[in-house]
Structure 1
């Protein structure tokens, strides 16, 4: 039994108290505007978000957090992550989930882990725990996509089978992105998923709404 994978599953489980279920990452806006209406359009939304948007950016930030050799370097990575947030709600999403993650990891595992943006926090915690970077990133991306699929199941609405099929179709992409970003540097940080960023900004004034982002 690989305890490394069990620890990662624990940290990225929906039961881990970071409140991920409360955030849609702008997907609620996309559904409200009719951009996501089916399992097919959900896949069309999530694939570029992973490939060229938040997914890849977070994978790079996980790698940078994992690679940081001291507190100063880690602080620079976290500052970059905060500056890179495309909207106030995106910043809040990463900050609040990251702080909750760090608090729980400090309390249970006893790591010296300051409050950080979520992907940076995960990368740093994985390094402190001796967990492999590629597996950490792959499982994070899968959990990120899974949370958005869960939101779409409730909001579109989609059937459970349709939602899980969409997530299964994205699984190879999560693995590939994790492999591609293990040696990432700060110059690899970018996002081209502009419509997702617009949706996140517009969510700040969306009414009615269920999610915090």
Structure 2
């Protein structure tokens, strides 16, 4: 069963409000990391574009709908919702929340320890009826990337549940240079762009993100053997 991924872009009222929101979200991420084995990712990010002083991105992954439901019912989350509800001036606009399921993905153990990885997020809308073949192309890119790019720490292709022709991607690199000089010019990426690129795409939206709290992956417990 594919994991579920919830990606939220929150709009805060400004830099001070944003820090308050991040701190509140961090408490939830700490709870999930310690108590929810079926929440493998709870990453809190800010845009690398410093002119954007209001956005907060939250990337959550759940092993199942049951895990998502349990998370939402936890005291950590109900307390967060109550806090945000009691302090509406923290926000400057409505959030954008999308739900997807994982189509193809890998995450290396190094992702759990990365302190300043370069994270790219994309939302790609395809022409009607073209998403399925595009997912096949992305699956090949994920496979080739896992084999050939050790400093690509995580690569995730999501089938959006809200829009039937949309694919979301979340990519984590050791640094921006690796993304630009190794991944983008790779044969897998260029061939995918050639076959499933502009001719079948309707739109492409990008965001470049910085991890500020939470976790991209959980460290596996050391074996006693």
Q: TM-score range by the shorter chain?
A: under 0.3
**Radius of gyration: which is bigger?**
2
Greater fraction of residues in strand: 2
TM-score normalised by the chain length of structure 2:
0.25
Greater fraction of residues in helix: 1
Q: Which has the higher contact order (CA 8 A, sep 6+)?
A: 1
TM-score normalised by the chain length of structure 1:
0.26
